[in-house]
């Protein structure tokens, strides 16, 4: 449901670990089709926030809604993934022995809950979907290549492709360009700009140059809450943001 202008909504979320407040009154709104970058110093709560959205960590209190009607706190991690929230961790976890195509095929079949029936042929529409994703992730010419032989950047794109075949509404990406060459980073920016609009993206990233090329809106987390929000230029000029980055 995107009629209310948001795909994801967090309100006054709190999480403590052994009395330590990792998330402390977090509010966040992501619009449908938005590409939002999340920045913040180490320990700000970025990973914990993604863990909450994906059902890996349960908040002590607060609301987490997908669209305007789905209360995510009522669902577990696999249910949340199945309803269209895809997450990519920092390190690529493709199946190195399988080809690019087989990785995408497996992701598609696993999502459909038929991993045990790999012997069944893909339907035409599913093949079309894979072909479209291959093109999007810049791997159409490497379709039969063994995934283990891909470059680091290509493996990251393949893993994004493995989420895309599942047609997620929201993608959560943790430091997607870490370890990439400049050229791979530029192509990843291109990829994200292609995905935006059709999907909503939340990208945790430290690379400010990359953020500047992809995002209209940046959220700065600190001490488990939003410190600042705005364009990259706006948040970079914010004295409180400068202070947390230069050390308190």
The site for ligand ADP (CB under 6 A) is made up of: 17, 20, 22, 40, 42-48
Q: What is the DSSP string of 19-63?
A: TEEEEEEEEEEE-TT-EEEEE--TTSSHHHHHHHHTTSS--SEEE
Shortest distance, position 20 Cβ to ligand ADP, whole Å: 6
Decide if 228 contacts 40 (C-beta within 8 A).
Answer: no
Query: Using H for helix, E for strand and C for coil, what is the string for 161-202?
Result: HHHHCCCCCEEEEECCCCCCCHHHHHHHHHHHHHHECCEEEE
Cα distances (angstroms) measured from residue 169 to each of 70, 87, 175, 211: 13, 11, 19, 21
Shortest distance, position 22 Cβ to ligand ADP, whole Å: 3
Shortest distance, position 174 Cβ to ligand ADP, whole Å: 8
Would you say 108 or 201 has its CB closer to ligand ADP?
A: 201
Phi, psi dihedral angles at 57 (to 5 degrees): -120, 135
Would you say 51 or 184 has its CB closer to ligand ADP?
A: 51
**CA-CA distance, 220 to 88, in Å (whole number)?**
20
Shortest distance, position 70 Cβ to ligand ADP, whole Å: 23
Would you say 45 or 92 has its CB closer to ligand ADP?
A: 45
Shortest distance, position 178 Cβ to ligand ADP, whole Å: 13
Shortest distance, position 52 Cβ to ligand ADP, whole Å: 10
Distance separating the N- and C-terminal Cα atoms of the chain: 42
Q: Which of 101, 106, 130 is nearest to 117 (CA)?
A: 106
State the burial class of residue 144 (Cβ atoms within 10 Å of its Cβ: 0-12, 13-18, 19+): exposed
Shortest distance, position 40 Cβ to ligand ADP, whole Å: 5
């Amino acid at each position: 449901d995107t009629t209310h202008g948001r795909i994801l909504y967090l309100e006054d979320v709190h999480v403590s670990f052994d009395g330590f407040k990792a998330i402390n009154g977090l509010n966040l709104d992501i619009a449908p089709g938005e590409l939002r970058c999340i920045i913040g110093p180490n320990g700000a709560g970025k990973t914990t926030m993604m863990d909450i959205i994906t059902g890996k960590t349960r908040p002590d209190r607060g609301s987490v809604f997908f669209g305007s009607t789905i209360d995510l706190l009522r669902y577990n991690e696999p249910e949340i993934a199945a309803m269209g929230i895809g997450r990519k961790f920092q390190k690529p976890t493709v199946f190195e022995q399988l080809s690019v195509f087989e990785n995408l095929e497996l992701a598609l079949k696993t999502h459909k809950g038929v991993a045990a029936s790999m012997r069944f042929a893909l339907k035409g529409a599913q093949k079309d979907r894979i072909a479209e994703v291959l093109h999007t992730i810049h791997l159409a010419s490497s379709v039969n290549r063994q995934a283990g032989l891909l470059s680091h950047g290509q493996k990251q794109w393949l893993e994004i492709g493995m989420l895309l075949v599942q047609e997620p509404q929201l993608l959560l990406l943790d430091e997607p360009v870490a370890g990439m060459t400049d050229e791979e980073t530029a192509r990843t920016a291109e990829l994200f700009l292609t995905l935006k609009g059709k999907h909503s993206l939340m990208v945790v990233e430290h690379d400010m140059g990359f953020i500047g090329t992809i995002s209209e809106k940046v959220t700065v987390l600190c001490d488990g809450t939003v410190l600042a929000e705005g364009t990259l230029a706006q948040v970079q000029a914010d004295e409180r943001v400068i202070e947390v980055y230069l050390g308190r």
